[in-house]
Chain A
Amino acid sequence: MTRALGSGPVRRWLVPGCAGLAALAWLLPYAWMVLTSFKTLPEIVEHPLAPPARFDLGAYREVFATVPVARTMAITFVMAVAIAGAQVALALPAGYALAKLRFKGQKGAFVLVMACLLVPAPATFVPVFLMFAKVRLVDTMAALVLPFAASALGTFLVRQALSSVPDEIIEAARMDGASELRIVYGILGPMLRPTLVSLFLVSFVFHYSDYFWPLVMTTSDAVRTLPLSMALLREQGTGARWHIVMAGNVVLSTPVLALFAATQRHLLSAVRPE
């Protein structure tokens, strides 16, 4: 493809030039976000486009004063880890039963799992809210975690990955006297490591960032997550206190961007269809 655009001096710089511009279209907004977060209110009103005269931490102090950041971040992490962990832990045995065991009703169970792929959270939040309200679980960690603890997509992906594992491995383990649970978690789990790591990471990133579900399932700050708190900074804000909102944005985005930088290959391979 390098020859596709020719090889003259103009053309040699055209491709990297365009690619550089594309990168800027994504990096400049982040840069502006970070620069804004270090400004003061007078600077934002008088010189909105100029970089900060000096790096002022006032906006961050304000964020930490309004939002209990450590507590909120802990809640968000516990929620996202609980969901991602439960999805992996439950998908393994379910995927094993669907991929490797033969039993009556298997096809029905598989169809049921696949049917749930058709039902996204925005189509269930009204009735699920009513159900949780009935058992007084609205505004609890359970309301945030339980609806996503089992993943239809995760179960499907584990089943697909397991179907390429030879039966002989399982038979050999049975001969050695390993229990079914030991086979699933002790032998097949490590073999599916790449699939499970991808499932965990994608699920973690999605639920860490999720705004919709925590918004509709919480009514107080009892289990308020980070995206909610940061969005609230803007709603409470009077006028143009954008430096505080952007400081909140930096606090919210840094953990996932760091995770992305550290696990790029896993995350990229996870979004690609097979």
Chain B
Amino acid sequence: MTPRSRWHPWAMLAPTLVLLVVFFIVPIGVAAYESFFSWDLLTPPRFVGAANYRALLAHGELLRVAWRTLGYSAIVVSGTMSLGLALALLVDRPGPFMAFVRASVFSAYIVSWVAVALLWMWMLDGESGVVGGLLRALRGPGAPSSSVLGDPRWALVALATVGVWKLVGYAMIIFLAELQSIPRSLLEAAALDGAGSWSRFRHVTLPLLMPTAAFVATTTLVTSFQAFDVVRIMTQGGPARATELFVYAIYEQIFLDLSVGRASALTIMFFVMLVALAALQLRVWRGHARGAS
């Protein structure tokens, strides 16, 4: 439609565009600019060229952080997907009991990460936590009474498990919506052709779910790549940096080391990796849109 006056569209867009530019576009530019300076927030900034990037690459720190974050994401994505699909198949039934089960699982997605992280810290407590005691029993007598969160080999896996517990309700709800949109006639026709329940799942349901699975995988990947709360609350990056994920590394650089330049360089690298992941996401979503229509 034609606007009543030429400035109307811009007046209506102005508040949104100004806020988005100031808080999303400009900051990326500011980070890129600051990444070429050495600045501790107290003394005047000093131009250092690409030294911040060189330092991050030279110590191998960047690669280690990126790799660790992808490892965390890999566990969260695979756990969320497989459990989410299994739960969706399980609770795809009518009745108030199943509705109650669905709401129970999904509730963790609503609750604050703070509450989830603190609750799991307590449950994993080596001395008196429910799960912590169980894990100690599994490891046999003489096992250290400390929490798994203090064990460099298992801390990251523990954090990722908490991530799965938090996010699986989201995956379940999306799989459910797709399962309920599969025409019953399709499954009935397969049954008439003599397909058993496993074969119906394998050859009818599963292929139809693939685009949704790709959607869930990419959204969970982008979300888990930004994980911060569980690290800050449960381990502060420890033990021995075993759980220092990307966003926590940026946080440490600026607020603990007061190193604006390093933090900005890390921010830019983080942004580049996110855009790469988002490009992957976009490709998958296009496939999803085609699959749905």
Contacts and interface: CB of A to CB of B under 8 A. Distances in A.
Given A1-B93, A119-B271, A212-B229, A150 B20 contact: yes
A260 interface: yes
16 contacts: A4-B200, A19-B90, A22-B90, A32-B119, A97-B10, A97-B12, A106-B9, A112-B25, A113-B17, A119-B28, A120-B222, A211-B228, A211-B229, A246-B118, A261-B103, A267-B110
Nearest to B177: A272
B34 A127 contact: yes
Interface in B51-75: none
Contact of B105 (A15, A23, A32, A103): A23
B256 interface: no
Given A150-B15, A257-B107, A272-B173, A19 B229 contact: no
Interface stretch (B124-132, B138-146, B151-159): B124-132
A212 B255 CA distance: 13
The number of chain A residues touching the other chain, given as a range, is 35 or more
Given A131-B30, A230-B118, A231-B118, A22 B21 contact: no
A32 B15 contact: no
B16 A113 contact: yes
Contacts of A48: 127-129, 133
Contacts of B121: 234
Interface string B186-229: 01000100000100110000000000000100000010001011
B201 A33 contact: no
B112 A253 contact: yes
A189 interface: no
A184 B110 contact: no
A227 B113 CA distance: 9
Contacts of B254: 126, 129
B27 A249 contact: no
Nearest to A227: B114
A147 to B, nearest CB: 4
A16 interface: yes
B8 interface: yes
Interface stretch (A58-66, A67-75, A167-175, A192-200): A167-175
Contacts of A94: 12-13, 15-17
A16 B128 contact: no
B280 interface: no
Contacts of B30: 127, 130-131
Contacts of B222: 120
B174 A272 contact: yes
Q: Which 6 A-B pairs have the closest CB atoms?
A: A48-B128, A209-B112, A93-B12, A150-B19, A127-B30, A127-B27
B101 interface: yes
A257 B113 CA distance: 13
B90 A264 contact: no
Contacts of B12: 93-94, 96-97, 101, 180, 184
A164 B23 CA distance: 30
Given A101-B2, A208-B112, 18 more contacts: A2-B93, A4-B200, A15-B90, A22-B87, A32-B130, A93-B13, A112-B25, A116-B24, A120-B226, A124-B28, A129-B254, A171-B1, A211-B113, A234-B233, A245-B118, A253-B111, A261-B103, A268-B106
A143 to B, nearest CB: 11
A122 interface: yes
A149 B19 contact: yes
A245 B123 CA distance: 12
Nearest to A184: B12
Of B13, B16, B125, B226, most buried by chain A (CB within 10 Å of CB) is B16
B247 interface: yes
Contacts of B13: 93-94, 97-98, 109
Given A4-B201, A272-B173, A256 B111 contact: yes
Nearest to B105: A26
B118 A234 contact: yes
Contacts of A227: 112-115
